[in-house]
Structure 1
Amino acid sequence: MERIERINSLHRILSASRYPVTVQRLQEELQCSRATVYRDLAYLRDYLMAPVVGNGEAGFRYDHSDGTRFELPGLWLSSEELYSLLAAQQLLVRSGGGVLSNALAPLQQRIEKLLGEHAGGRRVPVERIRVIPHRRRRLDEASFRNVATAVLDRRRLSFDYRARSTDEKTRRTVSPQRLTHYRENWYLDCWDHEREALRSFSVDRIVNAKVQDEAARDVPDEELDRQLSSSYGIFSGAPKGWATIVFSPKSARWVADEHWHSQQQGRFLPDGRFELKVPYSTARELLMDVMHYGADAEIIEPAALREQARTHLQLALSNYER
């Protein structure tokens, strides 16, 4: 059960109970651990200002001694939670009327139900909030369905893949691990059997995908996180180093509020510039993001990455010198 559902369920239980409710009962009804019950009670009391009273021995209840009845506020999701729900809802809407849309219809109904519960039963005017796609790539829907099926059914997958960087076409057989939506595009995280290593493939470059009868090899979540989530962006792997980028005072106001990486380190310099440090494995995506800021960003170290940036910029400048 997700936290949104748990908070709503916890609120209903406490509202309907005349006497304190034990932690054991809350664990059973919310299907969560004892620690999670205490965290949810604290969130309900401290963040949503619910009149929660009691303790772990006697149980918990709402204090209605002042004669008022507590109701959840009209908007209590965090911005991240609201974005996640709305983004998922709009992704489903944009999937069209094909097989994928039909298969995901129950999920969309579930999301709409959660939004309705969040708004106290009122219809949420989702059209008032827009999640605008940016630089989304076209997908082969048949291949996408087979990729998703292989991920969910835990079956091996074979497909033709044309690498965007080299345009080389290869046939791959993989054990799918995760389907990742990142920056408006889908990526398949998997174990590549020929190369005997974890790889990420852009789904829009996958064609002729076939689900195999053989069961997929499962890679532990810890290994997936270490190899695919620890470094910068979707082009990840074990971090090979840290990049230090300094942004001008003008850009500092934007970059200081941006989330580039879970382990990033940032600080304002005395002259108003902003220094950002991020781990990275391959330079490609990091360079693209840094160059987005043009003259307002400078890679300080490592020297090899700085030289790569210099080369890219010189090649770009040469296009305007003809």
Structure 2
Amino acid sequence: MLETSARLLRLLSLLQAHREWSGAELAERLGVTPRTVRRDVDRLRELGYPVNASPGTGGGYQLGAGAELPPLVLDDDEAVAVAVGLRTAAGQGIEGIGETSVRALAKLEQVLPGRLRRRVSALNAYTVPMLREPMPSAVDPAVLTELAHLCRDAERLRFAYRGHDGAVSRRIVEPHRLVCTEHRWYLVAWDLDREDWRTFRVDRITPRPPHGPRFVPRTPPADDLAAYVSEGVSTRVYAERAVVRLLVPQQEAAGRISPSAGTLEPDGPDACILRTGAADLDTMVVHVLMTGLPFEVLEPAELTGALRAARDRLDAALARGGPDGPARGGDSVPER
């Protein structure tokens, strides 16, 4: 049995990790009796944590928003500063901390008093970031936190989705996880109408509440969801797909190729395999050449033919003239 102080921290962590727990579930997780759970909940309330309880067989415990921020955590100004910082980090897609920012923001906003939420909203609404480069896809942090809550609580999501062609469709899904790349957020979810896993760009999602009901989470489509999303947005979505051996170590290739452009896997110490896609073979040729890395084509064979055709067009263009090439009509440029 856990000591009281450690058990209180564990109880608080459980309440933050899930929307609602029954007394029996908490007792089983903590290895105590339901009566001890009730006493521990009372202790958390005495410390300032807003734990709500609903009676009856369908009732349970839920960490809610209180009149004041729980003590010994953050004061009002600190809470506002942290919330604004987390929203900024989540919205800008800062590499390495995006998902962590959303999880922390979801926990903080769950207990943030109304007066502080208004301050955070005002700061975000009237603050304009000056970035060196515009973000390719702006994501509302409020949408991110809403999706994070639904993933955590296993509640169905209803939303309008704008496709790449601008067409809008209505979707109902069972959200599973949020995945972020350098500049974009994606939602991995089970699409109820299509009866299959789908990946949605979050900047194209407009939630249409009410959401729910709750669902039993399914087995995810892959153990490595980051690799799954990377393959989906860089390869599976395209008509033409290619497998190319890059003649450099994987770590070097990863510095030139983003997860949204292709997936990489090691092929010995001095090479790696790139799997990627494009709308057509000519675009694929440009895509592979723009990596700036030595390579050889593994498949499809048609890509080798497209590379030869591109080489011939380049040779012909150079032969027709230019500052350092022959003049038009095949005449040589006289020496100066």
Tell me the TM-score range normalised by the shorter chain.
0.3 to 0.5
Query: Which protein has the larger Cα radius of gyration, Structure 1 or Structure 2?
Result: 2
Q: Compute the TM-score of the two structures, normalised by the length of structure 2.
A: 0.42
> What is the TM-score when the length of structure 1 is the normalising length?
0.43
Q: Per residue, is there more strand in 1 or in 2?
A: 1
